[in-house]
Chains A and B, each alone.
Chain A
Amino acid sequence: MNSTIALFLAQDGIINGAIYALVGVTLVLVFAVTRIIFVPQGELIAWAALTVAALEAGAVPGTAYLLVVLGAAAAALELAREWRELTARYLLAMLATDLALPIGLLLAVIQLAPLKLGFTFNVIATLALLVPMGSLIYRIAFQPLAEATVLVLLIAAIGVHFALVGLGLVFFGAEGVRTTPLLSGTFPLGPLVVKWQSVSVLVVTLLVLGGLYVFFERTMMGKALRATAVNRLGARLVGVPVRATGRIAFTLAATIGAVSGILIGSLTTIYYDSGFLIGLKGFVGAILAGLGSYPLTALAAVFVGLLESYSAFFASAFKEVIVFSIIIPVLLWRSLTSGTHHDEDEEV
């Protein structure tokens, strides 16, 4: 391997690592607020990429129909579970967000998609279709389990993952897609040829991470989410509606998922079930950083990306094995060193 190849692999690794960083940070966020390990984040990413691809082809994306299905399911389940508690105002709001909005979006997409309005429209439409799914998925699958243990929530998350992969196959079919990048072309940087597309991925990732930082450090809502993660009862006592915090965390997850999907669609071919591996690599990053710190998670995810890229060069058949194996020494080290921490936690 000469230095040009090494640099080329590094570029590849960093770009993939940036996507994994977005996934990892999302997993940390959702876990901190709701204690859910959100396995299906990858599906949202794949769906976003598939949606962009459908819109580029001038077709109505499956997500437009899926959103109507999810909205109707969420409304029906909530009615069945809590019809005694619901007020007229809440019912009206539910009708608007769960039924009117998805149907309105579907009709708009059916009208506009064949016109092929271009990149900006595709991005806006994809965000509009994907972002509401976050809180819908939370309300259908997780809200009734809000008080359950981490293990039960994980089992539910895996169930949701399988359900979403199945729905993806039904609504998108088995074909793989690749979308056109935001920026094409290259520029030379020393011995390296850098793709503008790589630059755009990095810039968008940094913007999302920066936005998250500002949200959690500077806004009342962001602090309320952190407070809910630290002390649920304390958060309730200052008037934070803790039921809403789960929905907000999932809405953020869906937003970041949609952005990641729009980015990754132009980097690699995406199938209805490609999300799982992407999600899993983000998860490895999050675990390496202890499922707690945002900046460490982002760094670890970039490391995962680099490791993947170099192992693809040296031992391409074992690429995935190498990436997933690094989790083992980390888990071993953590279980050896964190035994004492548990005792301390219980004393407090």
Chain B
Amino acid sequence: MSDAILKVSNLSVAYGRVEAVRGVSLSIPHGNIVTVIGANGAGKTTLMNAIMGVLPSVGEVALDGKPMGRSLVEARVNNGLCLVPEKRELFSTMSVEDNLRLGAYRFGSSAVPGGLRDVFARFPRLEERRKQEAGTLSGGERQMLAMGRALMSRPRLLMLDEPSLGLAPLIVKEIFHIVTDLRKAGVSILLVEQNARAALQVADYAYVMELGEFTMSGPAAELAADKRVIESYLGLGGGRH
């Protein structure tokens, strides 16, 4: 099955005796945007961290058909996997430019100039702020820096955890615009979002996660039209949100 860049089979993650993710399977075709939507606490972030190797898990995660076993985070980064975490995890006392440089760690300094050019073309705001400490940036700029840092590692599969969380609507629009742009550039993307409407608009395929399990899946356009999804996640008709 080499047409899927990532294949997750029967993955479970437990915190002590509590299983946060239970027997989840998903597959991401090359060059697609796949989204996992669900309420706060459904286990979406845990799933991402397990795929990245930050959390130990049971089950199989295969990249390009090759199981990654218990390989370390750095080995996964070297294989082209990259996570932009919900909390961004920037190097707050270092400059914007240094944060970006470190994104290219796996290639070494030689990859920095080209990478910086690409990132600054995509995020002109970061170029204006390149000498500033990352900790002084606004929320939207931080998200741009986190995404820019990830792009410096030229990922083949980019995992975005709540990229729109806490951002102003205009910036959310910008971020999602960049997500579709990246897909055109051939990057596969796994997108986790509470903002289900925006996520379903850009995604090719979607999974719905509830209490650690996938309860529904299908092409994003179909799910966006599904009555239960509309009621629970899109906030139309039911008016619960």
Contacts and interface: CB of A to CB of B under 8 A. Distances in A.
Interface of A: 85, 219-220, 223-224, 226-227, 230-231, 233-241
B91 interface: yes
B215 interface: no
A238 B77 CA distance: 7
Given A227-B91, A233-B85, A234-B90, A220 B108 contact: yes
A168 B77 CA distance: 43
B105 A240 contact: yes
Interface string B78-122: 100011010001111110001001111110110000000000000
A240 B101 CA distance: 12
Contact of B91 (A220, A234, A236): A234
Contacts, number: 66
B174 interface: no
Contacts of A220: 101-102, 104-105, 108-109
A347 to B, nearest CB: 13
Contact of A237 (B77, B93, B104, B108): B77
A262 to B, nearest CB: 31
Given A220-B105, A223-B98, A230-B92, A236 B85 contact: no
B6 interface: no
Contacts of A223: 94, 98, 101-102
25 contacts: A224-B102, A224-B105, A227-B91, A227-B98, A230-B91, A230-B94, A231-B91, A233-B85, A234-B89, A234-B90, A234-B91, A235-B102, A236-B54, A237-B52, A237-B54, A237-B77, A237-B82, A238-B77, A238-B102, A238-B105, A238-B106, A238-B149, A239-B153, A240-B105, A241-B74
B73 interface: yes
A239 B94 contact: no
B98 A231 contact: no
B198 interface: no
A224 B102 CA distance: 7
Given A230-B93, A237-B83, 15 more contacts: A220-B104, A220-B108, A226-B94, A227-B94, A227-B98, A231-B92, A236-B54, A236-B74, A237-B73, A239-B77, A239-B78, A239-B105, A239-B106, A239-B153, A240-B105
Interface string B41-85: 000000000001010000000000000001011100110001101
Nearest to A84: B70
Contacts of A224: 102, 105
A85 B102 CA distance: 28
A240 B107 CA distance: 11
Contacts of B78: 239
B153 A238 contact: yes
Size bin of chain B's contact surface: 20 to 34
A219 B109 CA distance: 8
B103 A238 contact: yes
Contact of B89 (A85, A231, A240): A231
A234 B77 CA distance: 12
B105 A233 contact: no
Contacts of B102: 220, 223-224, 227, 235, 238, 240
A337 B78 CA distance: 44
A235 B103 CA distance: 9
A234 B100 CA distance: 12
A238 B153 CA distance: 7
A219 B92 CA distance: 19
| 5 pairs of A and B residues whose beta carbons are closest in the complex | A239-B77, A234-B89, A239-B106, A230-B91, A236-B73
A224 B104 CA distance: 11
Nearest to A234: B89
A239 B81 CA distance: 10
Contacts of B103: 238
A230 B90 CA distance: 9
Contacts of B91: 226-227, 230-231, 234-235
- With most chain A CB atoms within 10 A of its CB, the pick from B77, B105, B153 is B105
Nearest to B70: A85
Contacts of A235: 91, 102
A224 B101 CA distance: 10
- With most chain B CB atoms within 10 A of its CB, the pick from A224, A234, A239 is A239
A246 to B, nearest CB: 14
A237 B89 contact: yes
B94 A241 contact: no
A235 B91 CA distance: 8
Contacts of B72: 241
A194 to B, nearest CB: 40
Nearest to A217: B98
A335 B73 CA distance: 38
Contact of B74 (A219, A234, A240): A240
Nearest to A228: B91
Contacts of B77: 237-239
Contacts of A219: 109
A245 to B, nearest CB: 11
B102 to A, nearest CB: 5
A43 B90 CA distance: 37
B83 A231 contact: no
